[in-house]
Amino acid sequence: MYDFSIITTAIDQFLRSLMPSALATFLECVLIAVCVLVAYVLLAIVMIFMERKVCAAFQCRLGPMRVGFWGLLQVFADVFKMIIKEIIDFKRTDNLLYNLAPFLVVLSSVLTFSCLPFANGIEVLDFNVGLFFIMATSSFGVLGIMLAGWSSNNKFSMIGAMRSGAQMVSYELSIGLSMLTLVALSGTLQLSEIVARQADMWFIFKGHLPALTAFIIYLIAGNAETNRGPFDLPEAESELTAGYHTEYSGMGFGFFYVAEFMNLFIVSGIAATIFLGGWMPLHVPGLDAFNATMDYIPGPVWFFGKTFFVIWLLMWIKWTFPRLRIDQVITLEWKYLMPIGLVNLLIMTLCVVMGWTF
């Protein structure tokens, strides 16, 4: 398997040979921050393009085709347009909170993004409570949305924010329960360790039925958590214009838009990491030649392949199902997903205790 920590260690030693240790650490922090932000933005651009093309395919259209070959430059043009737009201040709104809200949403999203293990040795934040930390950092994104809705001083924004708050707080439970099911199987919260323990088999095969149930619950709840798909009623265009970000222009809106797409990427990335083995190649116990061949495909290819597969699944759901009503959304979570998740956690614990896993 490719080990990328060789490269990072070499860079670290090179920097430490040039300057004092504290300065090198500081410089590395800045470098990593820049890398994370650039990756964040580039992936957002890829995802926006993918969303348009997938949406077009599901609606029997071609999608953007004019700007650049096969419409490849369309998103760059859109980003440029968004950057040069004016950011409007309103009278009688709370300007501090109005301007702070998009940053809270992006902060939560970037922190969660930097926990993802992209390859063997490329993990920005990796400590013993990794999965719990992901839940923690993703849980205050809803605060930014609620502040945005409130500080816009607009009824549509307010309704969108309240819907979003109720929905995200509810669906966090299901996400937590399905993650906990997998933690019971893996026996660790550290993300690199979770990936390493899938070396013989991915958890979705190891945990068979309960893991599959948890995967499906996670996909539904993750879709709701990102305010997408059939759960996009916080920004229901037909009734609330744009929900909580109605009053935002320029990059204020851009931040919400980018964070929404990157939250989709993060949800899919976590699904790929804890259910589908992250950067770990497909290994079948007993087939050594096959396993060795699979090891020649580098880790990032596996990680991004799995992640974009899950993203494609979620986009398929989004462009297939009609939007739910708010009472249906809450009923689905509290009366169906959460009880199923709780029972599923019990079944998984039973399987682990009795040794009924592969």
Partner 1 sequence: MELNTLTIIFIGLSLLMVAAALLAVTTRNIMRATTYLLFVLFGTAGLYFILHYTFLGAVQVTVYAGGIIVLFVFAALLIGKGTRDLTHTSILRYTAGFTAAITGLALTVYLIFTHQFPEVQHPVSVVPMKLIGHTMMGVEKYNFVLPFEVVSVLLLACMVGALLIARKR
Contacts of 267 (CB under 8 A, 6+ apart): 222, 223, 225, 226, 310, 314
Closest CA to 197 of 358, 4, 8: 358
Closest CA to 345 of 198, 217, 219, 226: 217
Residue 182 or 276: the one with the smaller Cβ distance to partner 1 is 182
Residue 94 or 295: the one with the smaller Cβ distance to partner 1 is 94
Strand partners, 119: 122
Which positions from 141 through 200 interact with partner 1, judged by CB under 8 A? 142-143, 146-147, 150-151, 158, 162, 165, 169, 172, 188-189
Closest CA to 12 of 40, 32, 36, 39: 32
Single residue of 128, 293, 320, 328 touching partner 1 by CB under 8 A = 128
Q: How far is the CB of 168 from partner 1 (least distance, A)?
A: 9
| Token pair recorded at residue 159 | 């309704």
Single residue of 15, 32, 97, 251 touching partner 1 by CB under 8 A = 97
123 phi and psi, to 5 degrees? Answer: -130, 120
Contact 316, 156 (CB under 8 A): no
Residue 205 or 248: the one with the smaller Cβ distance to partner 1 is 248
Residue 188 or 241: the one with the smaller Cβ distance to partner 1 is 188
* Most distant CA atoms of the chain, gap in Å: 69
Contact 64, 71 (CB under 8 A): yes
Residue 48 or 195: the one with the smaller Cβ distance to partner 1 is 195
Q: How far is the CB of 99 from partner 1 (least distance, A)?
A: 12
Q: What is the DSSP string of 279-330?
A: T-----TT-HHHHHHHHTS-HHHHHHHHHHHHHHHHHHHHTTSPPPPHHHHH
Site string for partner 1, 1-30 (x = CB under 8 A): ---------------------x--xx----
Residue 7 or 129: the one with the smaller Cβ distance to partner 1 is 129
CB-based burial label for 237 (10 Å; 0-12, 13-18, 19+): exposed
Q: How far is the CB of 192 from partner 1 (least distance, A)?
A: 14
d(CA 209, CA 215): 10
| Number of residues engaging partner 1 in binding (CB under 8 A) | 30
Q: Which stretch binds partner 1 (CB under 8 A): 95-103, 224-232, 248-256, 272-280?
A: 95-103
Residue 75 or 224: the one with the smaller Cβ distance to partner 1 is 224
Q: How far is the CB of 172 from partner 1 (least distance, A)?
A: 8
* Interface with partner 1 (CB under 8 A): 22, 25-26, 94, 96-97, 100, 127-129, 132-133, 135-137, 139-140, 142-143, 146-147, 150-151, 158, 162, 165, 169, 172, 188-189
